[in-house]
Structure 1
Amino acid sequence: MSDTFKKIRTRIWLILNIAVVLWVLLGVLCMQVPPYDFWPAGFIAFSLPGALVLNFLFLLYWALRRSWFLFLPLAVMVLGWTYYERLLPLGLVKELPPQDAKTLHVMSLNTHMFTAYHGKERLTAGVSSEMVDWVASHPADVYCLQEFYSNPNSKEYDFNIISRIGARYGKEHFFSAASSSSKHGDLGVAIFSKFPIVDKGVIHFSEKPSGNRAIWADLDMDGDTVRVYATHLQSMSIKAEDIENTYTAIGSDEESFKKEGRNVARRLRNGFVKRGYQVELLLEHFKTCPYPFVISGDYNDIPFSYTYNELAKELTNAFVEAGSGLGATYNGPLPFLRIDNQFYSDGLQAYEFETHYEMALSDHFPISAKYMLEPKEEE
């Protein structure tokens, strides 16, 4: 009887393991599907981290049981190692560049308007001042700032942030404003650089004015040109109160839970679809770039998405290459989300990556990476 029970138990766990393997395969497949063609693929891909974690737990289970079935989850881990690296890079030590190498240090942050406003309400100037000072004093060569806000006409407080970050510290800047008002200031995406900006441009994702856009600047690094993109893809448009309302409704109000759940799902779906179009505009623009480049910003998508996957096919992710840990960048009610990234092209090599958890004043944590400009091959 005991042996029969063990066989039944083993068979059940094996069936569950096979189901998880199929889940992993389906998730990987769905990352290849444009959400505007089949939006449910976005949700299935979004669930892939859960399948990867469960597969690892099955590996531990079969190993403890000393069962040959461990080769099933082990094969998934080996064949799908690149996806595990997206989830949790090993952080292997990277070789430092030689002393004579040209290097580029890029910092990116969604500033959340430097917390100047919440809706139409003005918040305390002290928080904004502390965030501006943190950004302005960061040692990076280039800042890529999303939801960047500046108001040189403000009489209440020094919100001339372009001057406070750029002119005061000798950095050139390129600011593309999505909205502009003499009373309320300007809001958009900005690049600040200690290197001269020799060319620049904007990639509009929509014919209507929108803060979701990408800008680029070509930098003269002592005779070598490198392009830096700062991008802000379609926001999830999910507020903290949406998540809190969903949590509160669990187990207490079934109708409210369904309503809040549908609301969150609808916003996620719309975001998947719009970012699918936006990433393809970016990829088209990359084809025209004659220089090595870094694209940094707020992607509003996790590493298991069509958006991220399309970029990863063509470019290298700086966090995967030179970072370690979970690298969560969203400072909000949903934990463990890494939605801010830096990707880079051939001609550059990342050797250091950092998520700045010490600066928690925005709803995103800043990220920074250091790159070495690889020597050009002699013709």
Structure 2
Amino acid sequence: MTGTFKKIRRRVWLILNILVVFWMLAGVLCMQVPPSEFWPAGFVALSLPGALVLNFLFLLYWVFRRSWLLVLPLAALLLGWNYYGRLLAINFAEEVPKEAKTLQVLSFNTHVFNAYDKIVEGVPQVSNDMVDWVATHPADVFCLQEFYSRVNSIEYNNFNRIGTRYGKYKFVSTLETDRIKANLGIVIFSKYPILQGGTIHFLNKQRESANRAAWADLDVNGDTVRIYAVHLQSMSIKSEDIENTYSAIGNEESFKKEGRNVARRLKRGFIARAQQVEQLLEHVRQSPYPAIVCGDFNDIPFSYTYQELAEELENAFVKAGNGVGATYNGPLPFLRIDNQFYSPGLRAVSFETHYEMGLSDHFPISATYVLEPKAAE
């Protein structure tokens, strides 16, 4: 009887393991499918981390059982190794030659420096601590999304406080908003001269979206590097939505209502970002210079958005980072939605997520790149 029970248990675990492997395959395949053409693919891809973790747990289970069946999760792990690398990066420090040309890039969604979280007598007040942290960071290039500045205010003119005061060059892609004429959008600051720049205005169902990408060509001691600062369509999910969903557990009707609300917003985001990343990559492909594409992509590494970028560009966190690299500072843990990608001609040698700056809903990320010597003609 005991032997029969063991056989049944083993068969059940084997079937479950096979199902997890098929789940993994489905998730990988769905990352290749544009959600704008088949939106359910976005949700399947979103679930892939769960399959990756379960497959690893099955590997440990079969090892513990000393069963030859460990070959199944082991084969899946080896075949999907690149996707595990998106979950957890392990890299060793690289020594950079003194003669090498380097470029350190900081990317940060500043959440308008929390200006609208603190309003005094009807006037937004920015976080001085956040502005000062950015202004004094040693990076060579600053790609700031949800940038906020008040042109007619000496105290809150962040163009001056971050840029002019420290002799930085800047490229601005902002909209004028609210009654006190504040500028909101994307700004690229650089210690190196900016040769030219522009804005990619994303289309959403043939209408211009508030999200955008700015680009600037920098003269880095005689070499030209193109920098993209990107802000793709938001998930449009607030902390309250997540908290409401958690609190609705146990109340079937309320949970379904909150769940449908979150699912609708995720669906809209999947579709919009799929269109935007295609428009972005079309521009990147035409760059005559090595490019760094960084910013708030509002999508995890298991998405069509990330997959499209990763097929053509390297990811600085994967190549030079360590740990899980979570960048979302909110109620959902372990989300990495801010990234830096780069093209041939550059090499990432270090990457850091700045958890010490926790005043925004995103953590800043920085990477240092080596400009590879040009091949002799």
Superposed CA RMSD: 1.5
What does 1:33-72 align with in structure 2 at a 5 Å threshold?
Answer: 33-72=33-72
What does 1:217-366 align with in structure 2 at a 5 Å threshold?
Answer: 217-251=216-250, 253-366=251-364
Q: What is the CA deviation profile of residues 259-294 of structure 1, one whole-angstrom value per residue up to 9, with x for unaligned ones?
A: 111000000000000000000001110121010010
What does 1:160-199 align with in structure 2 at a 5 Å threshold?
Answer: 160-181=157-178, 183-199=180-196
**Equivalent-residue separation in structure 2 for 1:193 and 1:185 (angstroms):** 22
Question: Is 1:117–2:127 an aligned residue pair?
Answer: no
Judge conservation of contact 2:249–2:255 (CA < 8 Å) in 1.
yes
**Equivalent-residue separation in structure 2 for 1:119 and 1:28 (angstroms):** 43
**Equivalent-residue separation in structure 1 for 2:11 and 2:123 (angstroms):** 59
Structure 1 residue 210 displacement after superposition: 4.1
Opposite residue 344 of structure 2, the aligned amino acid is: D
SS in 1 for 2:376: coil
Judge conservation of contact 2:201–2:213 (CA < 8 Å) in 1.
yes
Structure 1 residue 181 displacement after superposition: 4.9
Opposite residue 332 of structure 1, the aligned amino acid is: G
**Equivalent-residue separation in structure 1 for 2:87 and 2:65 (angstroms):** 26
Q: 1:183 to 1:372 in 2, by over 3 A?
A: same
Greater shift, 295-304 or 284-293, is seen at 284-293
Match of 2:101? 102
Structure 1 residue 179 displacement after superposition: 3.6
Q: TM-score, normalised by structure 1?
A: 0.96
Judge conservation of contact 2:202–2:208 (CA < 8 Å) in 1.
no
Q: 1:327 to 1:363 in 2, by over 3 A?
A: same
**Equivalent-residue separation in structure 2 for 1:228 and 1:173 (angstroms):** 12
Q: What is the CA deviation profile of residues 146-193 of structure 1, one whole-angstrom value per residue up to 9, with x for unaligned ones?
A: 000000223xx7110000000001100111113445614010011000
Question: Is 1:158–2:155 an aligned residue pair?
Answer: yes
SS in 1 for 2:295: strand
Q: 1:123 to 1:26 in 2, by over 3 A?
A: farther
Q: What is the CA deviation profile of residues 211-235 of structure 1, one whole-angstrom value per residue up to 9, with x for unaligned ones?
A: 4100100000111000100000000
Judge conservation of contact 1:153–1:182 (CA < 8 Å) in 2.
no
**Equivalent-residue separation in structure 2 for 1:334 and 1:97 (angstroms):** 36
Q: TM-score, normalised by structure 2?
A: 0.96
Question: Is 1:86–2:86 an aligned residue pair?
Answer: yes
Judge conservation of contact 2:194–2:216 (CA < 8 Å) in 1.
yes
**Equivalent-residue separation in structure 1 for 2:274 and 2:208 (angstroms):** 19
Percent identity over paired residues: 68
Match of 2:132? 133
Greater shift, 215-224 or 205-214, is seen at 205-214
Stretches of structure 1 that go unaligned for 5 or more consecutive residues are none
Q: What is the CA deviation profile of residues 321-342 of structure 1, one whole-angstrom value per residue up to 9, with x for unaligned ones?
A: 0001111000011111000000
**Equivalent-residue separation in structure 1 for 2:78 and 2:238 (angstroms):** 38
Greater shift, 200-209 or 165-174, is seen at 200-209
SS in 2 for 1:140: coil
Opposite residue 168 of structure 1, the aligned amino acid is: R
| Paired residues, number | 374
